[in-house]
A and B are shown apart, each in its own frame.
Chain A
């Protein structure tokens, strides 16, 4: 399996919530590579890409939070104009919808984090086009 797992956590939409989560993860010695917050009215969902998703989930659960591991794709794209477009174009041509998309750059590597309805199929399509779909282990430290 090449999929990476995001840790999704349910939270109230109020000040201090992210800090609360990051503190728990820091105490569990978990490194956070990426974070996204989606909120609506009184509540929201935080998603983390971390060094050890299983352990992060356990740490958050232990503190009483509702969590879930969510499948995602991490794709390495060239950090240059048109790099992202190539990925988007590939998915579009195969009629694959992007539920959530975001990205970050680390050590001169550009990583796209994608959530799609059928991760296995999207991975297949991208790999056939020569994109590098990272495993959990291959994520930059």
Chain B
């Protein structure tokens, strides 16, 4: 199951030669056309011809979130404004967005990588794709839309929300795979359950590509159970095309990152030092084929690690582990560093609680974790609920090292998100 077997299984030495060639070309282009990089190169005393091997990558400057904002709207363009074909903006941030330009070649490349990613999981042109990501400025929907069309799938551009209509479309057009956020997937599972729809019996769903928010293995299992399908983890970020950068193959042992299009590094987010393979740190990516807006050593702020061991699928592109958290999602409560994913892992592994949760920080560093009770978790006795609450508090304390308040709520009492879920509310008075 390959879309482009030659490139996907290219032996490492050849892949690295290709990477170096493309890196040198990218560096030459930004030095010539992007004043921001020209100035950075001058500050660091580095010239395009200094890049003689992939190891020279570390001589190049980082690009950060702030650099993208500072150069808004067109400061990082490496082609003329006329040569751009599509504008996307980054999602889920405050103030001015980050503007991300695609040339015709970039649009096609992004679709190509999505096609590779889908086919890698067994998708063929016979499949029917219902895209439940947000269409619009967000890359999530359009990029996968083009990817699935490239394969020849029937594409239903449903967008998120309106679960009644999603259900109708899935039934009437025999949808076989969907693309959505983990929070909406959990909501949809609850919705189907509530409406007496057994997806295994009543729908043709086989696979879900779940992404745009970090989520845990436990959440993945809950989605698989609730929607009766196979969940494939996907990683992407708008700054790097959006979805299709790294996807799981059928072995589901980490996500293959398309290394002919991106160089990856893992660094210590504090010091910026390169970390050895296998160690967890911040993912840093360099575009190798981007025409309109190449980015060097972009700080993704996502925490992961690289798996170097060859995969039995035969692909030579290395894999990355599930995102452990986002370096700027980290909470500091009573002096302890906590990733929301740690809390999610405990909640999703606990039977009797539902799929929606909220972390509320209030007062003087008090943490309350609100979670909905599941139908199956209720035995009709208040004593049993107290036991469940105490058990969860203990499990959470063991995981995050501080003792939170756990609040059980009736299903449906927490806000439902159809785009990116807001899991943390910080109202601390400090």
Contacts and interface: CB of A to CB of B under 8 A. Distances in A.
B382 A66 contact: no
B407 A8 contact: no
A10 B407 contact: no
B411 interface: yes
A69 B381 CA distance: 11
A42 B407 contact: yes
Contact of B380 (A39, A61, A65, A68): A68
Contacts of A44: 382
B382 A40 contact: yes
Contacts of A69: 380
B81 interface: no
Given A10-B385, A40-B386, A64 B380 contact: no
B375 A12 contact: no
B378 interface: yes
Contacts of A65: 410
B278 interface: no
A10 B381 contact: no
Contacts, number: 53
Interface in B363-404: 373-375, 377-382, 385-386
A66 B373 contact: yes
Contact of A43 (B194, B374, B375, B409): B409
B410 A12 contact: yes
A115 to B, nearest CB: 8
Contact of B382 (A12, A39, A61): A39
Nearest to A63: B412
Nearest to B379: A68
Contact of B410 (A6, A8, A40, A64): A64
A44 B378 CA distance: 12
Interface string B178-211: 0000000000000000100000000000000000
Contacts of B373: 10, 66
A64 B379 contact: no
B371 to A, nearest CB: 11
B408 interface: yes
A39 B408 CA distance: 12
Interface in B321-380: 373-375, 377-380
Nearest to B354: A66
Contact of B413 (A12, A38, A39, A99): A12
A98 to B, nearest CB: 13
A61 to B, nearest CB: 8
B388 to A, nearest CB: 11
A66 B410 contact: yes
A70 B409 contact: no
Contacts of A12: 409-410, 413
B373 to A, nearest CB: 5
A66 B386 contact: no
Nearest to A42: B407
Contacts of A61: 375
Interface string A39-81: 1101111010000000000000100111111100000000000
A87 interface: no
Nearest to B380: A8
Nearest to A17: B410
B378 A66 contact: yes
B382 A45 contact: yes
A44 B383 CA distance: 10
Contact of A70 (B377, B380, B408): B380
Contacts of B407: 42-43
Contacts of B380: 6, 8, 45, 47, 68-70
Interface of B: 194, 373-375, 377-382, 385-386, 407-413
29 contacts: A6-B380, A8-B380, A10-B373, A10-B385, A11-B410, A12-B409, A12-B410, A40-B382, A40-B385, A40-B386, A43-B385, A43-B409, A44-B382, A45-B381, A45-B382, A61-B375, A64-B410, A64-B411, A64-B412, A65-B410, A66-B373, A66-B374, A66-B410, A66-B411, A67-B378, A68-B379, A69-B380, A70-B379, A99-B381
Top 8 nearest A-B pairs (CB, nearest first) are A8-B380, A68-B380, A70-B380, A38-B382, A45-B382, A64-B412, A66-B378, A68-B378
Interface of A: 6, 8, 10-12, 38-40, 42-45, 47, 61, 64-70, 99
Given A12-B413, A43-B382, 13 more contacts: A8-B380, A10-B378, A10-B408, A12-B410, A43-B385, A45-B385, A47-B380, A61-B375, A64-B412, A66-B373, A66-B378, A70-B380, A70-B381
